[in-house]
A and B are shown apart, each in its own frame.
Chain A
Amino acid sequence: GAGVSQTPSNKVTEKGKYVELRCDPISGHTALYWYRQSLGQGPEFLIYFQGTGAADDSGLPNDRFFAVRPEGSVSTLKIQRTERGDSAVYLCASSPGPGRSYEQYFGPGTRLTVT
C-alpha cells in the first residue's frame, strides 16, 4: 500500500521568503507528526495532529512556523520569513492513532535549503 508522501522532495528558497511543505499520510491514519532533522542528528519533534487539531505543538521553534490539517488528512507545514538556520530535512510521519498502534511511519522528507 501507499506510504507517507511528501512534496516537494527538495526546496531551495531565499532568506526571508515564505515556504509550504506538504504531507500526505497513510490512508486511515488519524495521527500525523512533523519532525525536523539536521545533518548528523536524529529527528526533532515539531508538532502532532490528532484528526484536524494540533494536539501538541510544543516543538515548534517560534511563531514563524505553523502547520494545518484542515480535513484530518493532508497537512501543510508553513514557514514564514525563512532563515538560514531553518535549512534541514523536514519529515512527516503518520500513525494509526491512539488505542490502535503507536508506531510512526515516516515519509521521505523535504530537504529545505535557505540561501
Chain B
Amino acid sequence: EDQVTQSPEALRLQEGESSSLNCSYTVSGLRGLFWYRQDPGKGPEFLFTLYSAGEEKEKERLKATLTKKESFLHITAPKPEDSATYLCAVQAVITGGGNKLTFGTGTQLKVEL
C-alpha cells in the first residue's frame, strides 16, 4: 500500500527565515510526486510535479527536490502570504492506468512578521 508521511505537522517561521518541509513516501512504482498548497476553505492548488530522483523544480520562493525515498519543499525567505497547508501526494505506476493520488496529512505553515 502506498504511504506518504509529512513532517513537521506544523511549522511557525519568522518572515525571511528559510526552512524545509519533508515528505517521505513508499510506493510500488513512482509515476510522480506532487506538491500542493491549500488555503483554509479552498481546494488544493497545484505547485509541482517531480518524476525522478534528482529532479528539482522552482517557483518564486519555493523549490521542490526528490530522492528515491523523500521529497523536500524548500522555502526561501518566506513571506506571510506563504502561510498555508502544504500537501504532498504520490501517484503510482499501476497496470491498467490507475491514476489516484495518495496524500499525506500536510504541513501547516505559519509565517509571521
Contacts and interface: CB of A to CB of B under 8 A. Distances in A.
Interface of A: 4, 31, 33, 35, 40-45, 48, 50, 55-56, 58-59, 91, 93, 95, 98, 102-109
Contacts, number: 66
Given A59-B100, A98-B99, A109-B43, A104 B34 contact: yes
B46 A42 contact: no
A56 B98 contact: yes
Nearest to B6: A42
Contacts of A103: 34, 46, 49
Instruction: Report the contact-size class of chain B (Cβ under 8 Å from the partner).
Output: 20 to 34
A44 B44 CA distance: 13
Given A50-B97, A55-B96, 4 more contacts: A41-B105, A42-B4, A45-B101, A106-B45
A95 B42 contact: no
Given A91-B43, A103-B49, A105-B46, A43 B103 contact: yes
Given A91-B43, A102-B91, A40 B98 contact: no
